[in-house]
């Protein structure tokens, strides 16, 4: 049964034929409705044309081609009946559309949580605002509590991107110079895949994000962990790795609790708590991470992260340090 659901696209990661939240569900019904209606219209017209050709058509003989033209019936009834059916159908589609639009357009409750999402070429910055010591940023993964409405303030740091998590919500463009609002709510725990919906340059293909919906208690635990700065008291090689990081990585990346506070790349304070690297391009394994650092351009050509040219020992020290960023 699960295989079947996957095979017909109901449960594939990016499908919106089945959705899991009130921002998407009314639209999903409409999508199905219009799809079935469309297939019916196609079937009717195809049937009409095919039947007309089969019943009335003749082989293209010289005689058939030269047959005298006839005035024939006016046929205007075809147009008026056809038009009548079309208009009724379209009015129905319009009413349903407006109904669905109203259901997903206006928020029903005040947001439980407001997040600031900023898109970059080619990754996502997710900022959880809060008081001193409560605010933090993460990247490419958005944790939300299940069953609660979350408001997203969507901005873009460079070019136009589009926020899209198909099983939770349709697209909202992220346009430099503007802040657009979108809402998210997941009705059951899970990992929902999203991606950038607007062409934004060479690595548009590798700009995934993940919405991780957790039971409220788990979410609060995650949130508390994220507010913590990076652990201090490092072992010697990790300490040397921190120095490598400060020298080579800190101008772009932040690690809270360390001197590194670059803002061009993702905040790495809790890097090891994430499931993927480079906006979903790689799994977050230590091997993939070190491969990425050694030569990001081979894995994601055109990415903004340059090759680092670190020596073997430096890479090993950096690895020891990064492994502490839990």
Partner 1 sequence: MSLLEDAQDPVVGRADSAALRDRLKAIWETRPGLVGWLSSVDHKEIGLRYIVTALVFLLLGGVEALVMRLQLAGPNERLLTPEQYDQLFTMHGLTMIFLYASPILTGFSNYLWPLLLGARDMAFPRLNALSYWIYLAAGLFLYAGFVVGAGPDAGWFDYVPYAAQRYNPGVNIDIYALGLILLGVSTTVGAANFVVTFLRMRAPGMSINRTPILIWGTLTASVANLLAVPSVSLAFFLLWVDRQFGTHIFSVADGQPLLWQHLFWMFGHPWVYAIVLPAMGMVSDGLPTFCRRPLVGYTPVALSTVATMVLGFGVWVHHMFAVGLPTLALSFFSGASLFITIPSAVAVFAWTATIWLGRPAITTAFLYFASMIVLFVIGGVSGVMTASVPVDWQLTDTYFVVAHLHYVLIGINVFPVVGAAYYWFPKFTGRMLSEKLGYWNFWTMFAGFNLAFFPMHVLGLVGMPRRIYTYPDGMGWNGLNLVVSIGSFLFAASFLLLLVNIAISLKRGKAAGPNPWAGPTLEWATTSPPPPYNFAVIPTIASRHPLWEAELRETDDRSRLDEGWRLDNGRLAMATTPLDGEPNLIVRMPADTLTPFVLAVGLSILFVGGLTQIWALAGLGIAICIGALLAWFWPSRPPVFTEPAGG
Within 149-168, which residues bind partner 1 (CB under 8 A)?
A: 158-160, 162, 164, 166
Please give the Cα distance from 326 to 76 (Å, whole number).
74
Q: Which of residues 243-302 bind partner 1 (CB under 8 A)?
A: 280, 301-302
Q: Which of residues 78-107 bind partner 1 (CB under 8 A)?
A: 78-79, 81-83, 86-87, 90, 93-94, 96-98, 100-101, 104-105
Reported residue count of the chain is: 326
Provide the β-strand partners of residue 212. Answer: 143, 191
Q: How far are the Cα atoms of 169, 204, 270 from residue 197, in angstroms, in the given order?
A: 12, 9, 27
Instruction: Give helix 76-105 / helix 25-56 axis angle, nearest 10°.
Output: 170
Work out which of 1, 4, 75, 131 binds partner 1, going by CB under 8 A: 75
DSSP class of 140:
S
Q: Which of residues 22-51 bind partner 1 (CB under 8 A)?
A: 24, 26-27, 30-31, 34-35, 37-38, 41-42, 45-46, 48-49
In whole angstroms, how close is the CB of 163 to partner 1 at the nearest point? 9
CA 38 to chain centre: 27
Work out which of 2, 74, 109, 311 binds partner 1, going by CB under 8 A: 74
Is 118 near partner 1 (CB under 8 A)?
no
Q: Which stretch binds partner 1 (CB under 8 A): 19-27, 143-151, 183-191, 252-260?
A: 19-27
Do 230 and 313 touch, CB atoms closer than 8 A?
no
Work out which of 9, 129, 133, 287 binds partner 1, going by CB under 8 A: 9
Please give the Cα distance from 249 to 268 (Å, whole number).
10
Tell me the per-residue interface mask from 214 to 243 with partner 1, x by CB under 8 A, - otherwise: ------------------------------
In whole angstroms, how close is the CB of 119 to partner 1 at the nearest point? 12
Q: Which of residues 122-141 bind partner 1 (CB under 8 A)?
A: none
In whole angstroms, how close is the CB of 221 to partner 1 at the nearest point? 29
Residue 43, token pair as written in the block? 């079937």
Q: Which of 186, 191, 184, 216 is nearest to 141 (CA)?
A: 191
Residue 158, token pair as written in the block? 């460079």
């Amino acid at each position: 049964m699960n295989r079947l659901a996957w095979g017909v696209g109901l449960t594939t990661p990016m499908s919106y034929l089945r959705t899991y939240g009130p921002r998407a569900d009314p639209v999903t019904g409409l999508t199905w409705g219009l799809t079935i209606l469309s297939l019916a219209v196609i079937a009717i017209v195809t049937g009409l044309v095919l039947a007309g050709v089969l019943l009335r058509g003749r082989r293209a003989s010289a005689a058939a081609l030269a047959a005298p033209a006839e005035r024939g019936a006016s046929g205007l009834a075809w147009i008026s009946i056809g038009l009548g059916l079309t208009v009724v159908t379209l009015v129905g589609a319009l009413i349903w559309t407006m109904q669905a639009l109203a259901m997903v357009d206006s928020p029903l409750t005040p947001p439980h949580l407001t997040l600031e999402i900023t898109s970059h070429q080619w990754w996502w910055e997710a900022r959880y605002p809060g008081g001193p010591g409560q605010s933090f940023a993460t990247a490419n993964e958005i944790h939300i509590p299940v069953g609660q409405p979350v408001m997203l303030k969507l901005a873009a740091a460079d070019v136009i991107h589009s926020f899209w998590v198909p099983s939770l919500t349709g697209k909202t463009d992220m346009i430099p110079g503007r802040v657009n609002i979108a809402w998210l709510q997941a009705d059951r725990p899970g990992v929902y895949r999203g991606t950038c919906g607007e062409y934004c340059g060479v690595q548009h293909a590798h700009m995934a994000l993940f919405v991780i919906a957790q039971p409220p208690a788990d979410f609060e635990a995650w949130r508390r962990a994220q507010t913590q700065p990076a652990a201090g008291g490092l072992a010697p090689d990790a300490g040397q790795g921190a120095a490598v990081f400060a020298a080579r990585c800190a101008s772009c990346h932040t690690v809270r609790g360390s001197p590194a506070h670059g803002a061009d790349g993702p905040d790495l304070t809790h890097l090891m708590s994430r499931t993927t690297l480079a906006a979903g391009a790689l799994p977050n394994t230590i091997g993939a991470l070190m491969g990425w650092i050694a030569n990001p351009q081979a894995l994601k050509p055109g990415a903004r992260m340059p090759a680092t040219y670190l020596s073997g020992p430096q890479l090993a020290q950096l690895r020891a340090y990064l492994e502490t960023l839990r």
